Structure 1
């Protein structure tokens, strides 16, 4: 096997996730990621407040439909970035920093190309997509105006997310926090400017909200590129390394082989969400608006779970790369404990103060408000189970196991969740839609736990690019007979 490069001098925000106390390291890494996620959700909520207050519930329903479509488009290219992040994390854990840079560069080339293609197709077919969703006539044109501008900004937003993911793969969760903050401040401040046409800005209505997002992401990307160069962060591509953006065949095969199933997982989630929106849309615009603002509430509830899952994945990838299997199970257990405590506390808080929070998006007299409260009471607790799934999936994906989570999500989202919504509808009416969420969460976490405990995900091979470090199976690091399921 090739010699292991020496560890370079620590850079700003960089954290070695293969040493130190696991619980403290996990939470210290997860908190900035949680901050980034909260800022991102806060941005969406503030934008929804501007749209709801200035343009009304029809515009709010339009953004709800458009945002779910964007999640679908996002999933089409997100998998490549996630696969590259796994490679970066494993390479960083074994101190092969050149391999990490090559994977990062290839991911940039792939994601930019894919996002441009998706943006063009999204612009062209946006009306057809909205019609497939049965978007209410009163919200159709508004959703179209908003969606098409959002599509224009897709390459910039995808590049920003990819750079955040790559930095976290090296153990740096602070830099993404600062630049997410920059994006949020700009987006939130520019929304009323372009919606209302303040000062020299044109009055664009709902499209103005999308223009604000486009500008904010472009500025954040440019600023982050400059900061990485200025501070000479570990993934900086300089000189001859710029050629890494032209993807290598070996890396392309690895990233695509792992990225497509991860992207498919996103598509399963977004496809299920789209099907749910289609069902919700048939219950009238008030229910659509109520569902939209409930999703804003849920965005906050799921943030701790997403942050802890991301931290578990980054820690597990580095420890797998370093051959520290003794720490991988401990990372998973710590993640499950933290998720139960933090997400559980979030659920309690939002249920206690849901009227005050939901009332930010619509007036107190809005008929959508009690509907939104009702939805929240039925479904919000399921996010505790969702968090457990994120932790378990984060660990197995860190070893390149992507087909198991895909199969689990496909089963839980379609035959279970949507099947429950249809089967219970004759007895529960619209409540069947809301009960299908916790039913799906129960199925997902049960299947994920079974796969984590009994699946073959530990027997995969390290995702190592050729020419840097000889690819070896985990059996060479830890004998198969000594592998024991954690938890």
Structure 2
């Protein structure tokens, strides 16, 4: 069996970067896949079809946001289990996650297929594109189980220290999706001509194929999180583990709702500025998607690495991981910010055209607001470390305060004095406020003692505790952990 990343004893700087880069590549691929699929739909069907796919993509975003929080909880639980050398506990977490979300995802797919028209009505879909949107959304719901399970499994694999396997199968899903879009949209070869539904069908085939291939790969390579024999009983959800995932995952999922709600409120302000400003802001958002990717990837890497070290009782390394993550974020995000500011006109013209009056507006937005992603990146690292020990409520409170009272208060309150610039400056204002509060929480908060996600030491089978007893209060930094860390050769031996 090939060696995996040792997140507990290996050099921090090189290991963190090596772990973050595959996650970053996965994020870039996901965004590029969405862009390419939109291009196929726009070129082969038309702009109405592009508008129709927006409804399906919004539903997918909300569903993925729902599973994101639970995936993060699974990442932390698996990471702490690995850090303590308790492979059995990690597998119990995966079994409960899969056993819970397979029936939930299948139910959502069936219900969504029949309720698609009502969902579109709730979204306020324009009647002129409702038939197209319905055709796309119904098949999108069929793809939902594969997408949600892919998301969950990839996040738990990263918790175990494996960032390569998720990347491999993200590449597979993207290649299949991009290649199959024109096949099913136009009915090339033996494929049926499905129009806009063909784009969703291509997405479904790509994700189901990648999911099955990833499961086969996990078992063929005997990766640590596979379930065999008596372990298959772990697929029956353990209520104590599920309750813990709900308690910790729900606040992290709500954070996505908070961010979305804040952006909807901001869009009301933006739309009041006119069509050109709305177009300029849309183009800027496309570029911001890529600017924030290093922060997101490093945040995920820091969370997994910190969780394993917390589980192993290596609090001396947790602080170092945080500092290295902050350094990398400033370097990578800062570099992208500088690049965007220097090449903003050329970048905006890609989306707006060289003769559009919206280009100058977009340049102004980028100049005033893009630098805020540097403090945003630092915040992502601080929050990732804090969440790795189970503290999820305070990050949610901080995010709510910075998104609504701070950001919206700045935008609305100063618009009379600053005009539209108040909207653009509110973005870095909110990000700086988030960083200030996150730094105070990291430095003075009790998150180091507030863990209820740490896994107890592995015991002989005859002395195994109930699942409810696996999760104990963590001691403060420097307290005895009562366990030990298994090195890779020991972990591999435990699987034989």
Q: Deviations over 1:393-429 (max 9, x none)?
A: 1101100101011111111122222333333445566
User: Which stretch has the larger CA shift, 185-194 or 287-296?
Assistant: 287-296
Q: What is residue 330 of structure 1 aligned with on the other side?
A: 320
Deviations 1:426-466 (A, max 9, x none): 55665554333222212222211111111111112352275
Mark the CA change 1:67 to 1:256 in structure 2 (over 3 Å): closer, same or farther. Answer: same
Structure 2 Cα separation of the partners of residues 181 and 228 of structure 1: 16
Answer whether contact 2:449 2:476 (CA < 8 A) is retained.
no
**Does 2:143 align with 1:153?**
yes
Higher mean Cα deviation, 156-165 or 108-117? 108-117
User: What corresponds to 2:152 in structure 1?
Assistant: 162
In 2, Cα distance between the equivalents of 1:479 and 1:437?
A: 41
Number of aligned positions between the proteins: 470
Aligned to 1:254: 244
Aligned pair partner of 2:100 in 106, 110, 124: 110
Counterpart contact for 1:416–1:443, Cα < 8 Å: yes
Equivalent position SS for 2:448: helix
- Partner of 1:483 in structure 2? none
**In 1, Cα distance between equivalents of 2:7 and 2:293:** 21
Displacement after TM superposition at 1:83 (Å): 0.9
Deviates more, 1:176-185 or 1:275-284: 275-284
1:446 to 412, 421, 436: 436
Aligned positions of 1:14-93 closer than 5 A: 14-64=4-54, 66-93=56-83
**Corresponding residue for 1:478?**
478
Alignment counterpart, residue 412 of structure 1, candidates 402, 409, 421: 402
Instruction: Tell whether 2:167 aligns with 1:173.
Output: no
Secondary structure of 1:30's aligned partner = helix
CA contact (8 A) 1:17 1:315 kept: yes
DSSP-derived class of the 1:20 partner: coil
Verify: 1:341 aligned to 2:328, yes or no. no
Q: What's the counterpart of residue 262 of structure 2?
A: 272
Q: Alpha-carbon deviations, 1:108-134, whole Å to 9, x = none?
A: 122333434555565566666666666
Gaps of 5+ in 2: 457-464, 481-496
CA–CA distance in structure 2, aligned partners of residues 314 and 233 of structure 1: 17
Aligned-partner SS, 1:296:
helix
Normalization by structure 2: what TM-score? 0.85
Take 1:429 and 1:403, find their aligned partners in 2: how far apart are those partners?
Answer: 35
> Structure 1 pair 146/427, CA: closer, same or farther in 2 (3 Å)?
farther
Distance 2:129 2:221 in 1: 46
1:458 to 429, 433, 448: 448
Distance 1:392 1:113, change over 3 A: farther
TM-score scaled by length of structure 1: 0.86
- Once the two structures are superposed, residues 216-269 of structure 1 have per-residue CA deviations (whole angstroms, 9 ceiling, x without a partner) of 111110110111111111111112212212111221121111111111122222
Q: Decide which of 369, 387, 394 is 2:384's aligned counterpart.
A: 394
SS of aligned partner of 1:242: helix
